[in-house]
Amino acid sequence: MPIRLRFAEMKEEIDHFKVIARDLLDNNGVKILTTFCDDLTAIQSLPSGQKYPWQIRTEHPLKTIESVGEYEANKRRGKHQRLIVEMTCIWEIKPIPGEVRKGRHGKVEVFEVAGIASTRINMRELTAAEGNNSLGSWRMELEPVIDLSL
């Protein structure tokens, strides 16, 4: 069974995230999330049944503001200075046509994951001497299940 999500709910989640994370994102963060949401709206209006990439590009990742050792619990200072976290993603999604009424498809309200759905988070330390040091990276991948019984 493919993973299906509602366009409206996904856009609402992105809008909530913009509000919640606003103080933690760099100066471009809200703009990047707005573009991400606008891209989803554009995909909703494209012909259904085809898959389209929906992404936050590696060249322009969503970034946190710089943390100066303030990432430990209980106000302890961490040994790493000047930390940022970056997030990128690419999902291949396919708009699903609405129900047929009076011989026409209804409004497209749902999309399904139709290929890769990959999100990458990278934590790195900004240092003048060594450049950008990655301290850790996480990736979440969803892959569609192929039904071989057909």
Q: In this predicted model, what pLDDT tens digit does every residue of 35-88 receive, in sequence order?
A: 999 999 999 999 988 999 999 999 999 999 988 766 666 666 666 678 899 999
| pLDDT for the residue numbered 98 | 77
Q: How confident is the model at residue 139 (pLDDT cuts 50, 70, 90)?
A: very high
b/e per residue 1-26 (b: at least 16 CB within 10 A): eeeeeebeebbeeeeebbeeeeeebb
Q: How confident is the model at residue 105 (pLDDT cuts 50, 70, 90)?
A: low
Whether the pLDDT of residue 127 is over 70: the answer is yes
Compute the radius of gyration of the chain from its Cα atoms.
19
Mean pLDDT across 103-119:
86
Residues 66, 83: contact at Cβ < 8 Å? yes
Tell me the torsion sign for CA atoms 57, 62, 66, 67: negative
Ordered by start, the domain boundaries in the chain are 4-142
Residues 106, 79: contact at Cβ < 8 Å? no
Q: Which residue has the higher pLDDT, 129 or 86?
A: 86
Tell me what percent of the residues of the chain surpass a pLDDT of 90. Answer: 60
Lowest average pLDDT, out of 1-10, 63-72, 132-141, goes to 63-72
pTM: 0.83
| pLDDT for the residue numbered 49 | 85
Q: How confident is the model at residue 125 (pLDDT cuts 50, 70, 90)?
A: confident
Give, for 40, the enclosing helix (H) or strand (E): helix 29-44
Give how far Cα 98 sits from Cα of 1, 81, 95, Å: 18, 51, 9
